[in-house]
Structure 1
Amino acid sequence: MEDWFKVKKVADKTWAIHDKTQVACYLVEGEEKAILIDTCWGLANLAELVQSITSLPVKVVITHGHPDHVCGAFQFSDLYISNEDKGLLNAFYNKQTRRQLIENRFKDQLSADFSEEKWINAELGNVSTIKEGDVFELGKRDLKVIAVPGHTPGSICLLDGENELLFSGDSVQTAPVLMHLDTSLQLSTYFDSLVHVCSFEEEYDRILPGHGETPLDKAVLYELIDGVSEILEGNVSGILEQTFFGEGLVCKFNETSIIYNENQL
């Protein structure tokens, strides 16, 4: 487990947990409860690691339904995800899909004691849906749901106003924001979502993303807004490249970048 995860305290009672693939999830404690934001791939015992950090009851909130954020969810009993991404979550608990993920992505990276069959046949616990404005009360610490459709239809951010933190999933990050996927919405929808997140800017100073460096200054959000605006206005365009996730137009800004589809503006 120590070989698979790296834990970094990023704020008071807040830990970033990066797995071996550089996907991040976050453990957030209040006085009475804790929240785990996303679950990485689930290829090691994340639940045991979480229990070694906190003795509080833990609920899991998923920022969006992609496999690198949901495939470890089976290790926990209480899960929350937007209704729009619940179908994606379920799709990645299809046994054939999970078998293909292991074969195509991780076959040569798994530890000797990892059980492929247990992972492939994993089943989800109780799944509840969440929406814009819902609040998780942890005991003198609240996390508020902000809807940010774009990367996926049901992507969310979580706002911790008391500690001025924004947990942004894959919607705001320095790693490329993938907007050329089958699950991606129009680039204009993503732009509107970024502007919506910006409307809460007085309540956070740092952004904690699902990939790449963490925490980030909120200036990266303004950069993404400006860059996507330039694309939509036709002032800049990306360079067509073949990426791991298929062909897309890659547009690099300063610290951030985006990959999009010209047919989904």
Structure 2
Amino acid sequence: MEDWFKVKKVADKTWAIHDKTQVACYLVEGEEKALLIDTCWGLGNLEELVQSITPLPINVIITHGHPDHVCGAFQFSDLYISNEDKGMLNAFYNKQTRKQLIENRFKDQHSADFSKEKWINAELGSVSTIKEGDVFELGKRDLKVIAVPGHTHGSICLLDEENELLFSGDSVQTAPVLMHLDTSLPLSTYFDSIVHVCSFEEAYDKILPGHGKTPIDKAILNELIDGVSEILEGKLSGKPEQTFFGEGLVCKFNKTSIIYDENQL
């Protein structure tokens, strides 16, 4: 496990787990249950690592349906995702899709105990859907679902009000926020979503994202709101750039940036 994952305690009973592909998931512990937020690519034994940290039963909640957040979900039994992204989750458990992913994208990039055959043929456990306002009760620790459609149709954040933490998935981060993908909604929808998240800002102090530095200051959210507003008002334009996921317009702000499609405003 140590060759693939890095674990960092980021708050009381809260751990950030990064794999070597620089994707983060989070383990949150209450008194009765623990919650794993996202599952990375599944190229290492995340289940074993989680069990080494907590003896409590685990629920898994997925912030959105992209493969770097869902492909490790097969290692767990109780899964939760928005209804809007459930189809995407299932699509990344198609055997041919997984075969192409592992052979074309990662090849030999995985942990020492990785089984390619097991990864390709992985099947999902029980999957339940979640929505805005749902609360996960872990025992003297509650996490509330906030819907943030934009990066994907069913992206969510999770609010831990007692500990003043917001788990933001890929919707708020210092790494570029990708809004030029086939799975992305118009930039105006994303703007409305992050304004909605900002309406809870008195309840959190730190943001824990799916990529990049963690934790980050909540001021990043206001930076995104101001920048996206200027794009939508025509006051700011991004520069064309070819990314791994196709061409997009890149707008760099102070501590973060966004990549968007000019035809999806």
**How far apart are the structure 2 equivalents of 1:222 and 1:156?**
18
Q: Counterparts of 1:68-217 in structure 2 under 5 Å?
A: 68-111=68-111, 113-217=113-217
Deviations 1:155-189 (A, max 9, x none): 00000000000000000000000000000000000
Distance 2:110 2:159 in 1: 34
SS in 2 for 1:104: helix
| Structure-to-structure mapping, 1:52-63, within 5 angstroms | 52-63=52-63
Q: Alpha-carbon deviations, 1:192-241, whole Å to 9, x = none?
A: 00000000001000000000000011000000000000000000110111
Alignment partners' CA distance in 2, 1:74 and 1:111? 16
Q: Using the alignment, how far apart are the partners of 2:4 and 2:112 within structure 1?
A: 13
Post-superposition offset of 1:113: 3.9
Deviations 1:82-112 (A, max 9, x none): 0000000001001111011101111032345
Point out 4+ residue stretches in structure 1 off by more than 4 angstroms. none
Contact 2:15/2:27 (<8 A) preserved: yes
SS at match of 2:220: helix
Name the SS of the counterpart of 2:145 in structure 1.
strand
Asked if the contact 2:4–2:19 (Cα under 8 Å) also holds between the matched residues in 1, the reply is yes
CA contact (8 A) 2:44 2:114 kept: yes
Aligned to 1:30: 30
Alpha-carbon distance in structure 1 between the residues aligned to 2:58 and 2:113:
26
Structure 1 CA distance, aligned partners of 2:87 and 2:126? 14
State the SS of the aligned residue for 1:207: strand
In the alignment of these two chains, the number of paired residues is 265
In the alignment, structure 1 segments of 5+ residues that lack a partner are none
Counterpart-to-counterpart distance in 2, 1:20 and 1:157: 23
Supply the distance in 2 between the matched residues of 1:129 and 1:225 (Cα, whole angstroms).
28
- TM-score, structure 1 normalization: 0.99
When normalised by structure 2's length, the TM-score is: 0.99
Per the TM alignment, residue 131 of structure 1 is displaced from its structure 2 partner at its CA by 0.1
Q: Please say if residues 74 and 122 of structure 2, whose CA atoms lie closer than 8 Å, have aligned partners that are also in contact.
A: yes
Which residue identity lines up with residue 98 of structure 1 in the other structure?
A: R
* Offset from partner CA, 1:55-78 (integer Å, 9 cap, x none): 000000000000000000000000
Distance in structure 1 (CA, Å) of the matches to 2:110 and 2:13:
31
Partner of 1:11: 11
Task: Look up the SS of the partner of 1:152 in the other structure.
Answer: coil
Give the conservation status (yes or no) of the 8 Å contact 2:16–2:25: yes
Aligned residue for 1:163, secondary structure, equals: coil
Question: Equivalent residue for 1:21?
Answer: 21
CA distance in 2, matches of 1:109, 1:151: 26
**Paired residue type of 1:38:** D
Kindly report the root-mean-square deviation, in angstroms, between the aligned alpha carbons of the 2 structures. 0.7
- Pairing 1:227-246 to 2, within 5 Å after superposition: 227-246=227-246
Paired letter, 1:37: I
